Structure 1
Amino acid sequence: MDKIKTLQILNNLNKNTLMETLEIEFVDVGEDFVTARMPVTLKVYQPYGILHGGATAALAETVGSCASALFVDTKTKIIKGIELSINHLKSKKEGVVFGIARPIHKGRTTHLWEIRIVDEEDNLISICKLTNIVLEKK
C-alpha cells in the first residue's frame, strides 16, 4: 500500500461532502488502521460551546467506512454503515480530534470497527463501534 497515494485518494473523496464541511482530513493509514483528524471549531460545536456528538459520529463513521472500503474491491462492492454506537467520555472545546479505526471483525459481508476519538494528547474523548455491510454493486 502506497500510504501517500491512499491518503490522497481518501481526501479527494471528501470534496463537496459533509466531510469537507467538517474539515475532516485523512492523516494516516496502515495495514490495520485508518486515522482522520477534525478541528474542533465553531463549526462542530453544540450550544454549550463544546464538540457536538453528531460531529464526533460523522468522524467515526467516516474513518470506519473508509477503512472497510480499503479492504474490499470497490469496483464490485459498496460499503454501507448499518449500526453506530458511541460513548462520549470527555468534552472538547478547541484543538483537534482524531478518529482511529481498527478492525474487530472483517468478514465477507460484515465488518465491525472500533473507533477511538482522541485529542492531541491521546486523551480518549469517545469510543465507538461501527458495523458496515459489504454489498454487491448493482
Structure 2
Amino acid sequence: MAGVGFHKAFGLRFLEASGDRIRVEWDAAPELHQPYGIVHGGVYCSVIESIASLGAALWLGERGNVVGVNNNTNFLRAVRTGRLEAVAEPQHRGRLQQLWRVAITDEDGRMVAEGQVRLQNVENAERLAN
C-alpha cells in the first residue's frame, strides 16, 4: 500500500489497515509545506480521503468499489516539523453509503486536523468509467 502512487509521494507508513480502522503516520517534510513553511492543508484533505476510502473499500470487499462523494476537513493547528498520525474509523456503514471520521494528531498527541468522508458503495464498478 505505502510503496505506490499517492501513498509513496506523501511518505505514508501504514501501521494498521482493516475495514474497521486505518492508522498511518508520516513526516511533516518540507516537500509537503505551503509557502509559509507549514504543512499544506491539501495534505490533510488528501490523507483523510485516502485512508477513509481505503478503510471503506476493505470493509466492502468483493461486493464492489467505493467512491468519495464528500470530504469535509477542519484545520486546527499548524505544523512545521515532526511526525503526524492519522486514524480513520467508520461512523456509519450502510448498503449504499459509508461515513468515516479521521483524526490527525502531532507527535505530542494534539489534534492537528479532523475530517469526515462520505463514500458511495458501488456494486457495478463498470459504471465508474462512464
Scaled by the length of structure 1, what TM-score is found?
0.84
Counterpart in 2 of 1:42?
30
Contact 2:19-2:59 within 8 A present in 1 as well: no
Query: What's the % identity of the aligned pairs?
Result: 23
Aligned pairs for 1:90-101 (under 5 A) are 90-101=77-88
How many residue pairs align between the two structures? 125
1:64 aligns with 2:52: yes
Structure 2: gaps (5+ residues): none
Once the two structures are superposed, what CA deviation does each residue of 1:76-121 show, in whole Å capped at 9, x if it has no partner?
4111111000110101111121110011101111110110011112
- Find the aligned partners of 2:120 and 2:18 in 1 and give their Cα distance: 21
How far 1:73 sits from its partner (Å)? 2.1
RMSD across aligned positions (CA) = 1.5
Once the two structures are superposed, what CA deviation does each residue of 1:20-58 show, in whole Å capped at 9, x if it has no partner?
111112112356311111210111100000010001111
- Find the aligned partners of 1:22 and 1:106 in 2 and give their Cα distance: 28
- Find the aligned partners of 1:29 and 1:113 in 2 and give their Cα distance: 14
1:73 aligns with 2:66: no
Once the two structures are superposed, what CA deviation does each residue of 1:52-82 show, in whole Å capped at 9, x if it has no partner?
00011111111100110111124x4111111
Higher mean C-alpha deviation, range 27-36 or range 82-91: 27-36
Aligned pairs for 1:1-138 (under 5 A) are 10-11=1-2, 14-15=3-4, 17-29=5-17, 32-74=20-62, 76-136=63-123, 137-138=125-126
Structure 1: gaps (5+ residues): 1-9
Scaled by the length of structure 2, what TM-score is found?
0.89
Stretches (4+) displaced over 3 A: none
Q: Residue type matched to 1:70 in 2?
A: L
